[in-house]
Structure 1
Amino acid sequence: MKKNLISIAILLLLMVGFCQAQQIRSYGSGKLSCSLIKNIVQDAHGFVWIGTENGLNKFDGWTFTNYFHDERDSTSLVNNLIEALLCDRQGDLWVGSGKGLQLYSPYEDAFKNVTFVDGNKPSVLHLQELNTGEIWAVTAGYGVYSIDKEKMEATSLVHVNDLCSSTFMHNIHQDSCHRIWIALPNGKIVRITSDLKDAELISSSSDALGKVYTILEDLKGRTWVAAVAGIYLWNEDEHRLIRMEQPDNTFIGVRGMICTKRGELYVNTVNNGLYSVDVEKLALKTFNGQLELGKDRIYALMEDKDENLWIGGFKKGVVMLSNESSQFKFKPFSTFSPSLGNTLSFVYEDKKHRIWTSITNGRLIRIDEDMQNYLSYEVGDDILSMLHDSEGTIWLGSYSGLSQFDERTGTIHRLPLLQGKAIHNIVEGRNRMLYISVLGEGFAEYDKRTGALKQICDTTKLRTTMRLANNWANKVMCDSEGLVWLGHCMGVNCYDPVKQEFVKLECEKDLYPYLCFALLEDKNGHIWIGTNNGLFEYDKKTLKLNHYGIEEGMPSNMVCGLGQGKNGDIWCSTFNGLCRLHDPERKIVNYFFGNGLVDKEYLKSVYFQRECGNIYWGGLQGITGFMPDSIGRQSPLNAPQLTHVYLNNEEVSADTRLGGETIADNVWMDARQINLTYKNDIFSFEFSTMEFRDRENVRFEYRLVELGGVWRSTSSGENRITYNYLPLGTLYI
């Protein structure tokens, strides 16, 4: 048989997109082998491993791989009860279970058994790598073992067992002075000197410790003990353990403890959720986070390389809690309108920084600046627009015409002007005039001082032959020069109130086929136009028109709203998430979910930006508000790693043999070449950046050089690429 007819060399995979943090991600029994979590670790490649009472799980941010014991497979788990996990300094993963110890081989995607020289198959409860690189395992009833990594053998440390006067052990820890702490039954702790010659018994200042779950040293060299009876701090001068004060002196059921990269101490319990440690007061505090843990039973706790907390619960699976706070605020539509069929008509912020909106049942809603509390007014009309003018008057536009609103009484005063007309948009010009879009009838200019009203439609004759191109204006904007821009169903027009004529625009013809829903003037005086065919940038000085759409990286060609950061970045709401164009390079970054974002589909022309910079978008599910300059620019992301390979839709490991040779000569993450045979008609690759906070905002770009070299992109949140019936030879992806 001919071999290696298709050789794929992996040279480059470009990851694009922006990974904004989602504060809470939950994974239950539908993904995990079991929802009873025992332990969680992260390996050198970034995989998160989750040990349970029924199997082991590997997670790359996209895909869970479940491992179980299989009597027909000697390379499977030796037992499904996972008691201990350790990733050593060489990057190897050790798995302690109810029937022994194994080493995971990523190349073979298999487990290698450690032979216990004395013939035992003990339950391995904890693992510790010493400063020498030696690994010790403590067991239930068989004492401590030292692991010979080369021989894959475990030898009983009889001398250490004798120093402990016991072979029943729960936990082990080596401190920075290389002394070894071993937890024994009945709350006893033995500390062995670094030369392994002597041992001393560590005692507490109060009651017996009970079972010890964790012994650790914090960043300042202090040793802590987490036991059933509570949290203890070792005082070397007084040679005793000092018990920390517990909330309300209640029993909290300590199950473990971690020290984060920033030195924070967290305690997980079996009946009171999560606590943080106040070191100065030697007291525990209820964890202050966005996740309500209450009386949750937390059996495992881990901080990953990105400082996210992973919380393993009893029958609740795993929760990842991001270390980043939410930067987008969201007010759900259901808060003030539980009825189906209603939708937001507009969003606006007044001069007192309150947010206003309306729903299609005659209700006007005022929301506090923090987007928490709200007040509802029954006004009888379906309000389409609002303006809080320079004199403090609140104007409302509805299907019934133009009104003034008295906030103190909650009443509206309908003006005879434009009565019975649908007022879609109201703005105030630099000349203090009101400019009002009237659906189907163009727009109107209203002089508040004299009460004079001038209506302009597509048949209105002005000083020049230029006329309004379309009467259905969706958006009105007054720019810094006092010009009035109108976005309608045939592009845009620009009106000069001083000359009382329309300005001839070089871009009008190019925009004529498109519907305009959003307008913005940026800090350079450029006009941004959001349409149903993407985003346009018009330079009034050079008359140049630039276009940005899906091909340029935008998430959708339907642009619903526009805003700008103080740094010059342009923000868009679309039918498929939010979009950001970095200034000045115009690099596009998309935002879909996470970091407080809930909506993915936004409403046309329902947006507002206040003078201080806050932007508000109206979406199908509610209002999203944020300060654009508070959203960090794209930070360096982990390089994409090849994590899974599928041949004819069946997953294979790197050591799989085809035609007498292995597919790859290294683990997938480090493989640079994959060899296939002509029989492999369909094959797929999965990649991961090991970014666990928000995969929905990540997409991958890739290309096959021999097939034209065209860059293609996965959908956001997708990490698999598939090829069918490729030509023979060496191909570069």
Structure 2
Amino acid sequence: MSIRKSTKILILLLLAFSIHATAQRSLSYSIDQMSDNRFHAICEDSMGFIWIGTENGLNRFDGYRFYHFFHDDSDSLSLCSNYVKSLFLDNDGRLWVGTGRGVQYMNPGEKTFHTVKLSDNVMPYVYQLSQLSDGKIWVVTSGYGIHRIDPASPDTGENMTAINSQAGVNGMFRAILEDRSGIIWLGTPLGVIRYEPSTEQQSWFMPDIINRDITGLHMDSKGDIYITTNRHLYKFHSKTGDLESITPPEELWEITHSFMDGSDNLSLSIRGKGLIVLNHSTNELQRPDAGSIERILDNLDVSVMYNDKVGNKWVGCFLSQLMLFTENDSRNSLSYRQFSDYREPISGSVTALTVDHNGNLWIGYNNNTLTKMAPDGKIILKGSPNSLANSLFSDSKNRIWVGLFYGGLSLLRQRSGHLENIVRNEIASISSIAEDLQGRIYFSELGDGFSRLDPTDMSVTHYTAIAKHIEGQWLSNVWIYSMTVDTHNRLWIGHENGIDCFDIERGVFIKLNDIKKVIGTSKSCRTILADSNGLIWFGTNRGLFMYDIDRAFVQEFNVENDMTSDDIRGIVEDNSGNIWVSTKMGFNRIDPGTYTVNRFFSDEKAYNNVSAFDSRTGAVYFASNYGITTFDPEHISSGSTLNKVLITGLYLKDRRMTFDMTSGGKHISDKPFIMTDRLNLAY
């Protein structure tokens, strides 16, 4: 190819893109620049850098590029967990980081993270960080209560025993807010607690009305308090003491997040359906005006919104896009940048997938629709509305079990698509479902361990704390993402801190020193497969691991041995025994006998943790936040299709060169450019 000609074409393309970007007021950046697109927190530091917390690392944006920060087992000053849930900048310019395994801080100008030692050496999942009027950093955790850190001695934290002793909460907190009178409001899965610091007295706030999982606490400029649950919005009028219920339209269903900016604008994120806003003049929740920021976000899961110091609005859409909105003063119009792997809005991210005994797909979407689809892609049935499936599982009796986001475990009536609730759970999401050799159903409750259901009498046994090994082994983390049962009736569990294995017959956890030593506690295990040869495959955010428990042998697969990415999303086994693995960047085929890895790419690069295999048809299914990729492994070629690059012309300093010219005293090539594979250039 001609380098000079190519340069001209590139410039023309860039100019064309710039013109397009100006007209559309948008720029698109690849998700590959960020560590992940599961966004949880955004914060601006004292230097003006934007920090973005995800489920797989922390990102810093300097206005030009993203820098990634991850946990490193060999570095005590790295992140203590790659799962970053909360970020906060205190009055002294320290950046506080709440992770899935504790809280850390970064001093201004540093690039290292200091871990705070909390009471009893706990390393909890941190929901929120906030600096209250006492100057202390308050840490809101899930399962370990409220802690408080003095910025003057930030390396240790204090357990707020007066708050954490509240019966029924079990240390589960969601949000914190201090009102103008100094009362501290605490959101829990069961409602709101008000705490008076001077007397250390606490009480439930209107428990007969507000008794559901709290998703947000906010205070406006008048001092009024806004409380959001997963179904309602409440406004507490501070002057009169009245509580007003503002309920969104029923068809909108679940509120996942709420956001209030400095101008008292309140937005609620509805799962899979974008945002609704509060009209303060009518006190009604309504769809945003056309052309507004909120309407641009229709059909997306908005998980975080943040206004920086100059008025830009940053919006993270879970499993989708990071957007930057800016006000254009000269045109009084809105412009935005997308940091995303897609150029168009996403509608209907796949959250769950299974194949029934007839080979039909049952698909859960984040827009609350459960859909039945034929293998050829034809929609057969749209099931129950408001049935947001977090997990789907087809058991040996051809029953389909549905794990819901904040709804519990249900059975799917396959003819009608309706759900029959079996186990109610308004607090935790059912993240994974498995079946043992006796036909009993295991389901993980995210943040609360796992349970076993006996379908014969529908009895339920909870296994968070009661199943212990005689030598002290127990479930090492309650944030479970994946479970599977092998042929020896062992339940394999993937969670935020790695893996565990539960011996179902004996009712104890098994020591796994060999595999745990390799995986460690820094890798989050999101998917597990027990293959037909008795091998266990663990997909983590830092590589794929094959485990032969009989030989105590571990084989690691990562980008260094040809995997498309270390961020593993889905694992299935085909009828030939090959292992197919989807990642953040394409998918892979692995021969378990030779450990040979073949890489494959499609237009759909960023897959999620949803996958399935149909043994009847041999079809593999990998899901993403844009749809489902399916293929027959028998029709996938192993041959390389890399094309040879042909050089048709060469320019140096705008001078056209021929192969027999010299550079540095040597001929540039001994053959015409189109025939050579080597150039000699002096530099």
TM-score (norm 2): 0.46
Q: Looking at CA atoms only, which structure, 1 or 2, has the larger radius of gyration?
A: 1
TM-score (norm 1): 0.43
